[in-house]
Amino acid sequence: MSTNDAIAGPAIVERPHTLSGRIVKALNKTPIHIALGLVAVIWLAPTIGLLVTSFRPRSDIQATGWWETLSTLRFTTENYISVINAQGMLHAFVNNVIISIPSTLLPLTFAALAAYAFSWINFPFRDSLFLVVIALMMVPAQVAFIPVLQLFAPFGFTRNFIAIWLAHTAFALPFGIFLLRNFFITLPRDLIEAARIDGASTFGVFRTIVVPLSVPAIAAYGIFQFLWVWNDLLMALVFVQNAANNPLTRQINGLLSQYGTEWHLLAASAFLLMIVPLIVFFSLQRYFVQGLLAGSVK
């Protein structure tokens, strides 16, 4: 036996991948798979039910539940045609896009810049100001609605999209700064200092070093913010005073009060609202998972 073998110790002998070994391994993981399967079924059941109901005729919805006649379901697209054409949902869908994109990009930009300043720029009272930002996360947004609305009203911001853009941006900044700052401080200090020695400006370091290395965290916050804005109803009720600018959430809310028993229209409208968040989440879930794990290890 050589010296290296003595130092390394006994080698680990792997068991052969026999049929019995694979069965035992599968049985050991069966409880976990069953638990995950139950969670998936519970989470997907309302979504599947909403999807099926949105394609069922009104008479079938009133007669039976969607789970009772899965083998004899009758599907129709008249629900979506009626909602899009007669109920103004297509225009509200466009309004949702107009509201959500700026309300995501603005806080994402400002939060990234502020987080970079709190992480890598020395200025007076930096830590104290960051504690103030953390404290703002504990203040309910509802307490500021009336003062902010009174501030926007004289300028006419509530008659267009400016009020809702500014409101979403302001209320999203504390969490965004906190999230991104916690990731930015884990970046290698030597890399930042090397860029400064090479002559990079403060903004140059942010643009060429910090942002490319922080794509997972930035993307995760962007996904969070987009989903919050897209599904928001409260701020839309307060800061959108022009009916022509109503997003989908307000349009569906009005549909519920006007057609309380028209479940086929409500199901189609609700699924029209949730289809975009589903597409965004499943298409960007890789960045979402990476962003959740970002900063856990350095």
3-state secondary structure the chain: CCHHHHHHCCCCCCCCCCHHHHHHHHHHHHHHHHHHHHHHHHHHHHHHHHHHHHCCCHHHHHHCCCCCCHHHCCCCCHHHHHHHHHCCHHHHHHHHHHHHHHHHHHHHHHHHHHHHHHHHCCCCCHHHHHHHHHHHCCCCHHHHHHHHHHHHHHHCHHHCCHHHHHHHHHHHHHHHHHHHHHHHCCCCHHHHHHHHHCCCCHHHHHHHHHHHHCHHHHHHHHHHHHHHHHCCCHHHHHHCCCHHHCCHHHHHHHHHHHCCCCHHHHHHHHHHHHHHHHHHHHHCHHHHHHHHHCCCCC
Mean pLDDT, range 53-67, rounded to an integer: 77
> Given pLDDT bands bounded at 50, 70 and 90, which one contains residue 72?
low
Contacts of residue 96, Cβ cutoff 8 Å, sequence gap at least 6? 230, 247, 248, 249, 273, 276
Gap between the Cα atoms of 95 and 248, Å rounded: 8
> Given pLDDT bands bounded at 50, 70 and 90, which one contains residue 131?
very high
Gap between the Cα atoms of 252 and 265, Å rounded: 9
Of 22 and 265, more confident: 265
> Given pLDDT bands bounded at 50, 70 and 90, which one contains residue 176?
very high
Mean pLDDT, range 62-79, rounded to an integer: 72
> Given pLDDT bands bounded at 50, 70 and 90, which one contains residue 26?
low
Check if the beta carbon of residue 107 is closer than 8 Å to that of residue 169.
yes
Of 45 and 29, more confident: 45
- pLDDT of 6 reads 47
- pLDDT of 298 reads 44
- pLDDT of 80 reads 84
- pLDDT of 25 reads 66
Phi-psi group of 201: left, alpha or beta (phi > 0 → left; psi -120 to 50 → alpha; rest → beta): beta
> Given pLDDT bands bounded at 50, 70 and 90, which one contains residue 16?
very low
> How does the average pLDDT of the chain come out, rounded?
81
- pLDDT of 12 reads 45
Of 77 and 106, more confident: 106
- pLDDT of 38 reads 87
Domain positions in the chain are 12-76, 82-293
> Given pLDDT bands bounded at 50, 70 and 90, which one contains residue 82?
confident
pLDDT in tens, 132-171: 998 988 888 888 898 998 999 888 898 889 999 999 999 9
AA letter at 232:
D
- pLDDT of 178 reads 92
Check if the beta carbon of residue 176 is closer than 8 Å to that of residue 108.
yes
Taking the model in full, what pTM does it have? 0.77
Gap between the Cα atoms of 105 and 107, Å rounded: 6
pLDDT in tens, 230-286: 999 999 999 998 888 989 888 887 776 555 567 777 888 888 888 888 888 777 777
Counting every residue written for the chain, the total comes to 298
The CATH class given to the 82-293 domain equals mainly alpha
Of 56 and 260, more confident: 56
End-to-end Cα distance, the chain: 39
Select from 175, 164, 149, 284 the least CA-distant residue to 230: 164
